[in-house]
Amino acid sequence: MDLAKHWRLRHARYRLEGQRNRLTGEVRFPPAPPRPGEAEDIWEPYVLSGRGRVYSFSVVRQPPEGFEDQPPYLVALVRLDEGPMVTAQLTDCDLDQAAIDMPVEMVTRRLRDLGPTGLIVYGYKFRPIV
């Protein structure tokens, strides 16, 4: 299910591809269509380094549908080195190891399994830089 939707997002999900503004150099993630009034090609694809620091983190113990096999899992806001902030899980990280300002790097992992008739959705998570 939802095949087209996840396929469409593959560059952002698999390699953290955002966008850079050709005029100002501003980097943004996730990618988005040009805003009203902006030139059609003003934002070019730009792959982020995948490195950043934890802005904040928490643990999900009461999961939403589709994540029942995962708790307890760490979720975080990560401030990427290029400036944008992303929401993602922390992985390869003990619950008591996570800390604000901890340096992390992006890895590609399974996000969720949409079931026997659906996709296994892969995407970015972040792990501590050791």
Residues that bind other proteins (CB under 8 A): 5, 9, 30, 55-68, 70, 73, 75-77, 84-89, 100, 111-112, 121, 123, 125
Decide whether 71 or 129 has the Cβ nearer to other proteins. Answer: 71
Choose between 43 and 57: whose C-beta lies nearer to other proteins: 57
Q: Tell me whether residue 66 or residue 128 sits nearer to other proteins (CB atom).
A: 66
Buried b (16+ CB within 10 A) or exposed e, 95-124: eeebeeebebebeeeebbeeeeeebebebb
CB of 53 to other proteins, least distance (A): 12
Q: How far is the CB of 43 from other proteins (least distance, A)?
A: 15
User: At closest approach, how far in Å is the CB of 56 from other proteins?
Assistant: 4
Instruction: Please state the closest distance from residue 89 (CB atom) to other proteins, in A.
Output: 5
Q: Taking the alpha carbons of 28, 14, 54, 48 in that order, is the dihedral positive or negative?
A: negative
Considering beta carbons, is residue 24 or 87 the nearer one to other proteins?
A: 87
